[in-house]
Structure 1
Amino acid sequence: MSPSNPSGRDVLRESVGGQRRDVALGSLLGSGHQLGEALVPVLIGVVIDRAVTKSDTGALVLWLGVLAVVYVGLALSWRFGAWSGDRSAARAEHALRIALVRRVLHPGGGAEEGRLPGALANIATEDAKRVGAVNMAVMYGISALVGILTTAVVLLRTSVTLGLVVLLGTPVLLWLGHLLSKPLETRSATEQERAAHASAVAADLVAGLRILKGIGGESTAIARYRTTSRDSLQATLKAARAQAFQSGMVLTLTGCLIAVVALVGGRLAAQGTISLGQLVSAVGLALFLLGPLQVLAWVNAGLAQGRASATRIAEVLATPHTVTAGDRILAQPVRGAVRLTGVSHGGLREVDLDIASGELLGVVATDPAHATDLLRCLARRADPDSGTVELDGVALRDLDPAELRTAMLVAEHDADLFEGTVRDNVTAVAPGSADPEPAMAAAGVAQVAETLPDGEDTAVGERGRSLSGGQRQRVALARALAADRPVLVVHDPTTAVDAVTEAGIASGIREIRKGRTTVLVTTSPALLSVTDRVVLLDDGRVTDTAPHADLIARHETYRTAVLA
């Protein structure tokens, strides 16, 4: 999307403008189809006047041949015009999806704030589809207008009165259709919001299904989803009623216009102003008008839904970034020295901390929320409210988040796995030439592979649900280790593994990360025992720092946090 802060109109303009060639081609061919359809009753009238009434066999054959050519032309125009329109809609939908995914995955973040993943998925699918369909609506709308204009011109040549009925009646009908589409636009927006919320709740419940079963919360979860789904259903029914009302009213008004055309044409024929063939043509054209006018009613509905969806897409695309890119770059090679000076963020209060290059540091936070706040600052998912975080003397806020993450990896506790094999997950972010085996051995993935049917090539289901909690943790840790970043921050990587495995992983981390900066944010004694020193965060402040054994001996708060 070209504008930095796009509106719904910008989204629609870009969606149609980006596919202008296909839309133009589809409109041209669609117009050819409508022109052919309008010519059919005209040619039938010509056949009646020049061949049937005069019993001229040669003229009959000639004009029937012309009619056959017109039929072939309009059929081919329809086929290739519809193909071009469908292609423009599919490409526009794809482009919107890419733009949304790019925005959601942008290193600056922000798009996911306040939105559940299911809601974002709904916007990237259903809303993108509706906006893409606007290309079809534009194509069909132009074609329908050409058909109406052709009908009006023919009727004007036949009778000024008939032509004026169509020329004056059609704009009034279009204006009324636009007015009738307003409630549909509003209700369509509500429908999509409720549907997105229901989808998000469903995805949330499926993700936590094991936990819900474990705590016996199925009935509460079902009740919650039933309420959300009922709200979505009500919004959908209201939108359907609005669309049905709009379509019904437009169809009624269209029928009135056609009836007026037929009535005026009949009176003119009775007065001898027009011939029998012209009357047949006029009635045929009046009946033909039903098609393009119905198309315009559908176009109005499609545009109303497209505008509502475009607004929702624009809201995501226009969401401000949580962090912005700075203009400084890191010196190469990255040494990995990290410094926090007076950092306050969330629950953190004036945190001062120096992490030497190549140090293996443990961080124990008595409040898990403070650990999360620290990770957000180190990962630069948010900038501190005050103070600075530096890497090799460069403030993180002065760096591009994408460049920062090539030097510093923050591995969250609840990191997800992806569909693919165990090995694919481990090597997902590893350098191309790197050997993943040391990382897999350090994280204990070799033991996991021994229990799986196809070893490292065993397929992993969505979010790793085919693996146990401990197996998922080990694969996620191996992925972080295989990334081989100069600075690695790991949060509680062994909470779901047994003590023996945890001790092996602790030794593996120390061995594989030797000479590179590593921060273990954890309360695990096994992991803390292999660190060079441990920092104690209590009440959001650094209250002590020393080797693990020394803190155990002299600090009651530390013993409670680590050994309780």
Structure 2
Amino acid sequence: MGTAKQVRRSAVGATDLSGRDVLRSSVTGQRRDVTIGVLLGAGHQAGEALVPVLIGVVIDQGVAKSDTGGLLLGIAALAVVYVGLSFSFRFGARAGERAAETAAHRLRIRLVGRILAPQGGADSGRLPGELTNIATEDAKRVGAVNMAVIVAVAALTGLLVSAVVLVSISVLLGLVVLLGTPLLLWLGHLLSKPLERRSEAEQERAAQASGIAADLVAGLRVLKGIGAESAAVARYRQTSSESLSATLRAARARAWQNGIVLALTGVFIALVALVGGRLATQGDISLGELVSAVGLALFLLGPLSEFSWINSELAQGRASATRIAGVLGAVSAVLPGADRLPQPVRGGVRLRGVSYGTLRDLDLDIAPGDIVGVVATDPADATALLLCLARRSDPDSGSVELDGVPMTTLDPADVRTAILVAEHDADLFEGTLTGNVRAAAPPEHDIGPALTASGADEVAGTLPQGGDTIVTERGRSLSGGQRQRVALARALAADTPVLVVHDPATAVDAVTEARIAAGLRDIRRDRTTVLVTTSPALLSVTDRVVLIEDGRVAGCAAHAELVRDRISYRSAVLS
């Protein structure tokens, strides 16, 4: 059955999504702005190419032939071209920037949506800081490909106009440009390959460093408490050094590519000027045409040097797009089902022959409205049970049912509207205390009872502005016990038919713990509640307690009875 489950998962995860798909959707999704940017950019480069041509015409007509009217007409034409250049550059650049930023923004939304999707799987094997790096830096680099496309088309337009003009002046000059330009572009593409590889490694290392840094900051108090600061700093220093080395390698590749392309471009421009000069000395072209040819040769330095930047942006964009595709195309942890939740949800939970992680053929029945304690002698058993009840993972064998309906046939989002699993290390959000609690509550729901039952009302009473006091990110401005009480209040305010709470009072004193136990019993009366804990105060208010040993149910009775009859239970809850 485990093999069949793996096959189903691989079919659901969009593992065939490639970096090229991400780039294509990023550009086509902004086709309007990209098109505007391309047209205006092409017009700008065409105008830039015409400037030396017009100067050559002015020299031939106004200077060589002493034609005052032609001179004035040429100057007027130059003025018109420069006005057009100004407007086309301004609005073309605006459209390009809009396309780049909008594409990056939409990618960030897609990434956050996939990471937070009920089916999960996107965060597997990735640190939170790494995911943040992908959603910021990588999304920005992929969005920048839109601008690179606009600049590429504009540069090609400038080259094409220049080639046409040069062919009209001299076939030989035109051939030099037409044959030399593709060769130069091909060499630039080859030179971008090492940069692409090193850029991908750079982003990987930077993401790992960000992830480790975020974890260290989050666990700073714990690290100080156990005296592990030096080990943590050493770990970060090593990762940061690896990130620095990858960045320097990418920078060297970028500098090497830019330098080589610039040198090749200079040789190419010198060749065009040399051919034009020989033609002028032989009398094959006029003075004005020579000026135009040299001016075009100098102009070509701009479009050709742009391709170095374009290749660099495309190389980094491809590397970032591959990393984004890895998140967006991640295999789902659980599969969505087609069945609907039974209405109303009564809250009966049943596990039949569940094997997952350390659990082995676990059978468990929880009747609607029961308050059941669960004591696991192995913390891994508790973790596996919580994952199955939250449907963050499906069991390898057996089934978890809600009101008789297997949860694998339900949509994970629907399951979580009926079953809330409040984990021990739940984080708070930046905002007010009451805002954190109200975030999970139904509209117009009175959160007062939840605050009272969890003891969070006492927390609010000790803060300068009560419930309106601002809580910093992840609740770091509160103590561990205060964070636990606010997180428990949030879970209680959600008022779901089934609530699973994991060790909600490990950081509070005995008096507060007893108050929380009584409050839980009162507020969750006639609502299914599962307390996964070893707290005697909490277990004493349950209808019964289930003891799990070696992945199986080893006993089920009242708390006092298990304390009397089970040595392993006494060791777990009274030690």
TM-score in terms of structure 1 length: 0.99
Give the C-alpha shift of residue 55 in structure 1.
2.1
Q: 1:289 aligns with which of 296, 300, 304?
A: 300
Measured in 1, the distance between the counterparts of 2:270 and 2:236 equals 50
2:115 equivalent in structure 1: 104
Aligned to 1:178: 189
| Aligned: 1:528 with 2:555 | no
Q: Could you list the per-position Cα deviations for residues 188-225 of structure 1 after superposition, in whole angstroms to 9, with x for gaps in the alignment?
A: 00000000011111111111111111122222111111
Distance 1:133 1:228 in 2: 28
Contact 1:156/1:163 (CA < 8 Å) preserved in 2? Answer: yes
Give the alignment partner of residue 73 of structure 2, picking from 53, 62, 84.
Answer: 62
Unaligned residue ranges in structure 1 (runs of 5+): none
Q: Does 1:326 align with 2:337?
A: yes
Distance in 2, Cα, partners of 1:456 & 1:526? 27
% identical equivalent positions = 71
Which deviations, in whole Å up to 9, do the C-alpha atoms of 1:233-289 show, x marking residues without a partner?
Answer: 111011011011111111111111111110000011111110000000000000000
Question: Structure 1, residues 36-58: CA drift from partner, whole Å, max 9, x if none?
Answer: 10010000000000001122222
Distance 2:209 2:412 in 1: 33
SS in 2 for 1:352: strand
1:459-538 aligned within 5 A: 459-538=470-549
Separation in 1 of the partners of 2:375 and 2:236? 38
Partner secondary structure for residue 368 of structure 2: coil
Q: Structure 2 counterpart of 1:402, which letter?
A: A
Distance in structure 2 (CA, Å) of the matches to 1:555 and 1:254 = 83
| Whole-angstrom distance in 2 between the partners of 1:244 and 1:131 | 21
**Runs of 4+ displaced beyond 3 Å:** 2-5
Q: Distance in 2 between matches of 1:481 and 1:427?
A: 10
Alignment of 1:59-98 (within 5 A): 59-98=70-109
Does the 8 A contact of 1:460 with 1:467 survive in 2? yes
Residue 91 of structure 1, CA deviation:
0.5
Aligned to 2:461: 450
User: In the aligned structure 2, how far is the partner of 1:102 from the partner of 1:13?
Assistant: 20
The code of the aligned residue for 2:76 comes to G
SS in 1 for 2:160: helix
SS at match of 1:557: helix
The one-letter code sitting in structure 1 at the alignment partner of 2:213 is A
What is the RMSD of the two structures over their aligned residues, measured on CA atoms? 1.0
- Normalising by structure 2, we get a TM-score of 0.97
Give the structure 1 partner of residue 277 of structure 2.
266
Does the residue aligned with 2:534 lie in a helix, a strand or coil?
coil
Q: Deviations over 1:487-535 (max 9, x none)?
A: 0000000000000001111111111111110000000000000000000
| Matches for 1:171-320 after TM superposition, within 5 Å | 171-320=182-331
Post-superposition offset of 1:297: 1.3
SS at match of 1:430: coil
Alignment of 1:322-401 (within 5 A): 322-401=333-412
| 1:363-404: CA deviation from partner (whole Å, max 9, x where unpaired) | 011111110110001001111111111000000111100000
CA contact (8 A) 2:15 2:331 kept: no
Q: Secondary structure at the match of 2:414?
A: helix
Query: Contact 1:11/1:314 (CA < 8 Å) preserved in 2?
Result: yes
Counterparts of 1:61 and 1:3, CA distance in 2: 64
AA partner of residue 123 (structure 1):
I
Counterpart of 2:357, as a letter, is G
Aligned partner (choices 551, 556, 564) of residue 567 of structure 2: 556
* SS of structure 2 residue aligned to 1:519: strand
Amino acid at match of 1:460: V
- State whether residues 5 and 317 of structure 1, in contact with CA within 8 Å, keep that contact through their aligned partners in structure 2: no
Deviation at 1:3, TM superposition (A): 6.9
In the alignment, does 2:34 pair up with 1:23? yes
Equivalent in the alignment of 1:38: 49
Q: Give the match for residue 5 of structure 1.
A: 16
| Alpha-carbon distance in structure 2 between the residues aligned to 1:351 and 1:199 | 39
Q: What are structure 2's unaligned runs of at least 5 residues?
A: 1-12
Distance 1:236 1:371 in 2: 42
Counterpart contact for 1:336–1:356, Cα < 8 Å: yes
